[in-house]
Amino acid sequence: MGKIKDRVKDEAEIHELIERWLRAIRTENFDGILADHSSEILMFDLPGPVQLKGIDAYRKSWLSFFDWIRNGGAFDLSEVTVTTGDDVALLPL
């Protein structure tokens, strides 16, 4: 029973982390956006640049994203499913 309870707690914590990140995006709060990311982040994303290496590159990528939002772009997550385990958490988006 303990493992199931732990997983439910872990999944709730991850959902809250995602919600904090989304609130930070909606308010253009760079500190909030970066808060739960490693300074050594390596991210592959579209649109380009396809590869972002390091927290400074990740931060910079948000500038053009916010311009896009201000010009009518929309960003939201739907149907987020979180699955946790002893050594992994999956977020199939």
Summarize pLDDT for 38-92 with one digit per residue, the tens.
Answer: 999 998 876 666 799 999 999 998 998 899 889 998 888 888 888 777 776 566 5
pLDDT at 1 over 80: no
Containing structural domain, residue 32: 2-90
Give this prediction's pTM.
0.75
pLDDT at 29 over 70: yes
Per-residue pLDDT, 55: 94
Per-residue pLDDT, 11: 86
Question: Which CATH number fits the domain that encloses residue 24?
Answer: 3.10.450.50
pLDDT mean over 15-44: 93
User: What one-character-per-residue DSSP string does 38-84 give?
Assistant: -TT-EEE-SSSPSEEESHHHHHHHHHHHHHHHHTT------S---EE
Cα(8)–Cα(84) distance, integer angstroms: 8
How many separate domains does the chain show?
1
